[in-house]
Amino acid sequence: VATKQNRKPEAITDYRRMLDDPDIDAIVIATPDHWHAPAGIAACQAGKHVYVEKPCSHNPHEGEMFIEAARKYDRRVQMGTQRRSRPGLQEAVAKLHEGVIGKVLYASCCYYNARGGIGHGKQVAVPDYLNWNLWQGPAPHVEYRDNIAPYNWHWFWDWGTAEMGNNGVHYLDVLRWGLGVDHPQEVSSTGGKFRNEDDQETPDTSISTYHFGDRFITMEQRSWIKTTKFDPATPMRFFGEGGSLEIVSDSGYRAYDPNGKELASGSGAGGETNHLQNFVDAIRGEAELNCEIEEAHKSTQLCHLANISYRVGRRITLDEQTHQIKNDPAAMKLWSREYEKEFEPKV
């Protein structure tokens, strides 16, 4: 950045100082998950546009508040699901909506990784470079342990959103976009932590299902072994009344009729740069956001709902008007969280 701009950016510890700067028009949030919505809501209140990394919230209620803040303060808010800006995937979704495989009834995706265990953390002195109070921010404050930062926070419920929020949101976003659906009526997720005996709280293996009336989504995630011999090379697939469509190499697609004859194909790389440029263009009034906060919330919500179903150990049903969980007080307790008063988000 210093080379590109011929000046070194100012480094600050407390983001609130940045929000007080009237010369800043927009911010990028790439913090741990539990900070995404609280910082983003505060940025909207301060008159800043926001590019927030996925997921856009740590729990469903934060997503609702984030939308409210964007509307109240008329700010542009984009989530970093950059596949929305890949030309090949844009073309694939357009083909689906045009009916290349007829009415699309089912979509599936998967995410696999070969992560190691995180061990059992020990209470140690906070590193000099880390402001542990500010890092925890809105989450309940605990003593520092040596297996949390800089990455393993993903696997603790106080700070992370499991593999679903970490990577699943990218694929679920494309599936929901391609199917043309918004909110599910029923969600179920089952799985567990099977591989490592360690402090991880989130599942290392799960299968999640989503019912959208007459349409259906499934996602499988496995975080402890990656077997290229058996795992599908294509992590996203759509199935319709007139054929199927697969996403190829994350930047293209191929569509087939029921007999395997190719109907259409296309490709187009890019995404990260395009997505950030789309954000800037939208701020200037030259484009619509490719993953505006309301769309972002709907996709992030799929991850939260799967996590809630997994944690309570049963299928959850949602109200078709409020899109909140019905007749399950234990599940609804996970709709929001307890906050440290100093950092509690309010619109």
pLDDT tens track for 142-198: 999 999 999 999 999 999 999 999 999 999 999 999 999 999 999 999 999 999 999
Q: What is the pLDDT of residue 81?
A: 97
Short-list 243, 211, 195, 217, CA closest to 98: 243
The count of other CB atoms within 10 Å of the CB of residue 311 is: 18
Q: What is the pLDDT of residue 44?
A: 99
Q: What is the pLDDT of residue 283?
A: 98
Q: Is 53 exposed, middle or buried (0-12, 13-18, 19+ CB in 10 A)?
A: middle
CA dihedral in degrees (166, 169, 172, 177; nearest 10)? Answer: -160
- Put the strands of the sheet holding 26-29 in their side by side order: 26-29, 49-52, 77-79
**Topology of 88-269+292-343 in CATH?**
Dihydrodipicolinate Reductase; domain 2 (3.30.360)
Strand ranges inside 136-226, DSSP E: 186-192, 205-212, 215-222
- Which amino acid, residue 15? Y
User: What integer is the mean pLDDT of 11-30?
Assistant: 95
Q: What is the pLDDT of residue 261?
A: 98
Q: What is the pLDDT of residue 9?
A: 87
Domains 2-79 and 88-269+292-343 agree in fold: no
Average pLDDT value for the chain? 96
Q: What is the pLDDT of residue 250?
A: 84
Specify the residue for token string 């940025």: 43
Q: What is the pLDDT of residues 246-272, one digit of tens each?
A: 999 888 999 999 999 999 999 887 777
* Banded pLDDT at 227 (limits 50, 70, 90): confident
The count of other CB atoms within 10 Å of the CB of residue 241 is: 11
pTM metric for this prediction: 0.96
Q: What is the pLDDT of residue 232?
A: 76
C-alpha–C-alpha distance, residues 86 and 91, integer Å: 9
Q: What is the pLDDT of residue 268?
A: 83
pLDDT at 229 over 90: no
State the DSSP H helix or E strand holding residue 239, giving kind and residue range, or none if neither: strand 236-240
Q: How many residues in the chain?
A: 347
Q: Where are the domains of the chain?
A: 2-79, 88-269+292-343
- Put the strands of the sheet holding 186-192 in their side by side order: 262-267, 252-256, 243-248, 236-240, 104-112, 215-222, 205-212, 186-192, 316-317
What does CATH list as the number for 2-79? 3.40.50.720
